[in-house]
Amino acid sequence: MITISVKLFAGIKDIVGKDEVELSVADASPVAEALASLAENNPLLRPWKNHVRFAVNKIYVQPDHLLKSRDEVAIIPPVSGG
Amino acid sequence: MITISVKLFAGIKDIVGKDEVELSVADASPVAEALASLAENNPLLRPWKNHVRFAVNKIYVQPDHLLKSRDEVAIIPPVSGG
Amino acid sequence: MIQIIRDKININALLAAVADPAAGGIDIFIGTTRNHSDGKDVLELEYEAYQDMALPMMRQIADDAKERWGVMKIAVVHRIGKVPVGEASVAIAVSSAHRKEAFEACRYIIDTLKKTVPIWKKELFADGSKWVGERP
Amino acid sequence: MIQIIRDKININALLAAVADPAAGGIDIFIGTTRNHSDGKDVLELEYEAYQDMALPMMRQIADDAKERWGVMKIAVVHRIGKVPVGEASVAIAVSSAHRKEAFEACRYIIDTLKKTVPIWKKELFADGSKWVGERP
């Protein structure tokens, strides 16, 4: 298992009630596992699966991007800046 | 004959040395006559014939637009505002 | 706000003139005097206008843009007289519900103004001056 | 000048940042908060950013625009936290030798920023609030 930090924003942050959580996941898990893992305990997160993007160490990555220990993951709901 | 006022700008004003002149032209002369009439006494104006537009009473008109007494004519060299 | 002025253009005044609580975006174009022209150093610019014709034309161009793009408010200010290098000679602001229309209307206004409105620019060099624009 | 700030955006600071004696034009886009959304009155907006990612992305977008259009200087400032209706949430300024490139680069930057940079907007109504953007 590895430890990753997961940053949360906007609607997802509101559902979880925190802007950052630490997770333990299997080494070389796909980044999408960060959301799946949180959704296990929080059904409200499940419908978000197809509406978010992921970033690892501040760069957008595909959902199948593999994680390493200490990665900074961010779950990015649809952006609305500007 | 009718009397018209002719406003001059930019390079044409510099050649004539005035920003406005009064001219007497035949009634119903085309507006292009305003430049032709000035050019009679000032050869430097002759090459401008195909480089100017005309306005009568503050509206662009074609060179064959016919003049009436007291019209305000303007000889408009190529504009360069902005 | 459609003006020809001799003083420095105040961009905040244009912004205030086009502000609208229903606007989602404002596009502003500012034309500034450049320090070179055809490889020569420009020391200063001087603008002259046929004001009685230029002002109604500027108003008409703004009205046309408002109708064509459905934008909210438009400000067009042209400075005349001497304009030091780097300062604004013209500024246009357009507010709109959506940004696409603000950009397109603003670009239309400056393009049309430059092509049609009777205003002239003279470049002053160390060794003389020259009215800008096609000439014989 | 690439910034995410909590205070009111100062347009004059952006103008100063992109001023260049060789520039012929500056295009500025200002995104302002609208007072209605889907027929409801918006009282206030609140923005949140993933700053550590948003800032480098804003820098990259500006660099891409500079390379693609050959423009001179670019300023991009996004405000976060509460933004009253009518005030600027984002401002982008681009200076360029020629105006076409300033308009196109400015439009590219706001379009790309809105689609990609991790910043979120929440609308506050009399009876609640809502994060803007597609959701489940």
* CA dihedral over C7, C9, C15, C18, signed as positive or negative: positive
pLDDT computed for residue D31 by the predictor: 97
pLDDT computed for residue D33 by the predictor: 86
Q: What is the CATH number of domain A2-76?
A: 3.10.20.30
Q: Write the residue in B58, B59, B81 that is nearest to C119 by C-beta.
A: B81
Strand bridging mode D2-5 / D73-79: parallel
Does position C58 have pLDDT exceeding 80, yes or no? yes
Cβ contact D119–A79 (<8 Å): yes
Please state at what angle helix D99-116 crosses helix D51-69, rounded to 10 degrees. Answer: 150
φ/ψ bin of A2: left (φ > 0), alpha (ψ from -120 to 50), beta (otherwise): beta
Does position C134 have pLDDT exceeding 80, yes or no? no
Cα–Cα distance, C47 to A64 (Å, whole number): 62
- In terms of CA atoms, which chain B residue is nearest residue C60? B59
Scan residues 53-72 of A and list those with Cβ closer than 8 Å to D. 55, 58-60
Does position D135 have pLDDT exceeding 80, yes or no? no
CA atoms in the 13 A half-sphere facing the CB of C109: 37
Beta-bridge mates of residue B66: B30
pLDDT computed for residue D36 by the predictor: 83
CB-based contact, A39 to chain D, within 8 Å: no
Q: Are C118 and B76 in contact (CB under 8 A)?
A: yes
Smallest CA–CA distance, residue A18 to chain D, in Å, is 14
Beta-bridge mates of residue D48: D120
Smallest CA–CA distance, residue C14 to chain B, in Å, is 16
pLDDT computed for residue C36 by the predictor: 84
Q: What would the DSSP string read from start to end of C71-134?
A: -SEEEEEEE-EEEETTSEEEEEEEEESSHHHHHHHHHHHHHHHHHHS-EEEEEEETTEEEE-S-
Q: Write the residue in B13, B77, B81 that is nearest to C113 by C-beta.
A: B81
Q: What would the DSSP string read from start to end of B19-70?
A: SEEEEEE-TT-BTHHHHHHHHHH-GGGGGGGGG-EEEETTEEE-TTPBP-TT
Beta-bridge mates of residue D136: none
pLDDT computed for residue B30 by the predictor: 97
Cβ contact A80–D132 (<8 Å): yes
CB-based contact, C107 to chain D, within 8 Å: yes
CB-based contact, B43 to chain C, within 8 Å: no
pLDDT computed for residue D134 by the predictor: 77
Give tens-digit pLDDT for D76-129: 999 999 999 889 999 999 999 999 999 999 999 999 999 999 999 999 999 999
Give tens-digit pLDDT for C84-101: 988 999 999 999 999 999
| Average pLDDT of span B19-40 | 96
pLDDT computed for residue C33 by the predictor: 86
Sheet holding A59-61, edge to edge: A20-25, A2-7, A72-76, A53-56, A59-61
Q: Write the residue in C52, C116, C135 that is nearest to B51 by C-beta.
A: C135
Cα–Cα distance, D7 to D35 (Å, whole number): 20
Cα–Cα distance, B50 to B56 (Å, whole number): 18
Per-residue pLDDT of chain A (82 residues; tens, 9 = 90+): 999 999 999 999 999 999 999 999 999 999 999 999 999 999 999 999 999 999 999 999 999 999 999 999 999 999 999 9
Cα–Cα distance, C71 to C105 (Å, whole number): 8
Cα–Cα distance, D113 to D90 (Å, whole number): 10
Cα–Cα distance, A9 to A77 (Å, whole number): 7
Residue C18, C-beta contacts closer than 8 angstroms, at least 6 positions apart:
C1, C26, C72, C73, C74, C75, C93, C94, C95
- pLDDT category at B2 given cuts 50, 70, 90 is very high
Cα–Cα distance, D44 to D125 (Å, whole number): 7
CB-based contact, D87 to chain C, within 8 Å: no
Q: Is residue D89 within a helix (H) or strand (E), and if so which, with residue range?
A: strand D88-96
Cβ contact B11–C135 (<8 Å): yes
Interface pTM (ipTM) of the complex? 0.93
| C100-120 b/e (C-beta count within 10 Å ≥ 16 → b) | ebbbbbbbbbbbbbbebbbbb
D35: three-class secondary structure by DSSP:
coil
Which residues of D touch chain A, with CB atoms under 8 Å apart? 31, 47-50, 52-54, 56, 78, 89-90, 110, 113-122, 131-136
Give tens-digit pLDDT for D30-70: 999 888 888 889 989 999 999 999 999 999 999 999 999 99
* CA dihedral over B18, B22, B24, B28, signed as positive or negative: positive
